Amino acid sequence: MNEKILKTKKNGMAVLLLLLLLYGAAIAAIIFGGVGMDGDGDSPKAMHLIPFICGLVWVCIGWIPLLGLKVLKPQEALVLTLFGKYVGTLKGDGFYYVNPFCTAFNPAAGTRLRQSGDVAADSAPLASAAAAAKGDVSLQIPSKKISLKIMTLNNNRQKINDCLGNPIEIGIAVMWRVTDTAKAVFNVDNYKEYLSLQCDSALRNIVRVYPYDVAPNVDTTGDGVADEGSLRGSSEIVAARIRDEIQQKVENAGIEIVEARITYLAYAPEIAAVMLQRQQASAIIDARKMIVDGAVGMVEMALERLSENKTVELDEERKAAMVSNLLVVLCGNHDAQPVVNSGSLY
């Protein structure tokens, strides 16, 4: 079903003033008819009975046209149906007047998710409970208007296994908006819940393709060639793929996904300690490699300088001992305690 925009003029204020004038005239007619029928004048009672009946009828049913008055704020829309048939959508801020028998339809009006626009509404039940405790009981009816603003959906964190089978916890924030009100209202049962479920599904589909960190022999692009893609290092690419995946799923619901961002990423608690030790061991190994490379270079430089300047002549055995001592000093975790030989070289 495609959206149909109503071209209704913003004549709500004129209709409201006209209805108020009619109400005033009806009240005046009732007073005129009542006074005339109670009096003893010579005028026939029919002259006073007709305005009295007309005024009374208008007072009883004159509120029905008031139902056709609709007020819209900027970036709001109203989907109207007439006896179950889709009439059209009101868009644009203003004061409108439509068929009073038209009703607004929005199945997601009472749905509250963890998203912008619903945070304040989530506190409404607490406020109602507090008011009830004080004896002030009021009924809050959710608005049937559809917001066209960009909203942010922050779903709960999910525990998903990456491509290596490691359980991780990940959360995303999705910026979205309604672009086709007819599709959003009629093509799916509840477009807010539908979006939330599709976000969870798309997140699982994409996360299972990537490892948490760079791993060898892993193809994340589907071209058959191993790459260095990972959830931690390729967050922008992963977020873009998640956005595209969600957009394909919610296209038939008239929703546009503006952006998707990863808001939380960590190993699951049951393996977090082990993975931390693994990362620490990897960092220690990398640091040791750098220290050894630097120490070997310094030893080679020392031997070359001694040989060039002919400061001292060392045989192979003494060179090996010197190399061993220098490597111990340079690669050790603690400061070396040298033993000074004050005698001969040998």
What pLDDT, in 10s, does the model give residues 53-90?
888 888 888 889 999 999 999 999 999 999 989 999 99
Domain 146-267: CATH architecture, name and number where available: 2-Layer Sandwich (3.30)
165 in the Ramachandran plot: left (φ > 0), alpha (ψ -120 to 50) or beta? left
pLDDT-derived band of residue 292, with 50, 70 and 90 as boundaries? confident
CB of 163 within 8 A of CB of 208? yes
Query: From CA 163, how far away is CA 210, in angstroms rounded?
Result: 5
Does an H or E element contain 71, and which?
A: strand 69-72
The pLDDT, as a whole number, for residue 325 is 75
Cα–Cα nearest to 260, from 198, 344, 342: 198
286 or 175: which leads in pLDDT: 175
Going from the C-alpha of 21 to that of each of 17, 18, 32, 262, 315, the distances in angstroms are 6, 5, 16, 58, 119
What's the CA angle centered on 266, arms 263 and 270, to 5 degrees?
Answer: 145
The pLDDT, as a whole number, for residue 289 is 84
Average pLDDT over residues 83-100: 91
pLDDT-derived band of residue 308, with 50, 70 and 90 as boundaries? confident
The pLDDT, as a whole number, for residue 300 is 82
Quote helix, strand, coil % in the chain, to nearest 5: 45, 20, 35
The pLDDT, as a whole number, for residue 125 is 47
The pLDDT, as a whole number, for residue 316 is 77
Say how many C-beta atoms besides its own lie within 10 A of residue 47's C-beta. 13
Domain ranges of the chain: 12-105, 146-267, 280-331
CB of 166 within 8 A of CB of 275? yes
Tens digit of each residue's pLDDT (9 = 90 or more) over 13-43: 898 999 889 888 888 888 877 776 555 544 5
Residue appearing with tokens 């539908």: 194
Length of the chain: 346
pLDDT-derived band of residue 335, with 50, 70 and 90 as boundaries? low
DSSP 25-44: HHHHHHHHHHHHHHS--SS-
Going from the C-alpha of 305 to that of each of 291, 317, 326, 338, the distances in angstroms are 21, 18, 15, 22
Residue 49 above 90 pLDDT? no
Tens digit of each residue's pLDDT (9 = 90 or more) over 184-215: 999 999 999 999 999 999 999 999 999 988 88
Q: Which 3 state secondary structure label does DSSP give 191?
A: helix
pLDDT-derived band of residue 141, with 50, 70 and 90 as boundaries? low
pTM above 0.75, yes or no: no
Query: From CA 137, how far away is CA 47, in angstroms rounded?
Result: 48
The pLDDT, as a whole number, for residue 143 is 82
What does the block give as tokens for 89? 């959508």
Q: For 29, what's the count of Cα atoms within 13 Å in the CB-facing half-sphere?
A: 18
**What mean pLDDT, rounded, does the chain reach?**
82
pLDDT-derived band of residue 117, with 50, 70 and 90 as boundaries? low
Residue 271 above 80 pLDDT? no
Cα–Cα nearest to 79, from 70, 87, 69: 87
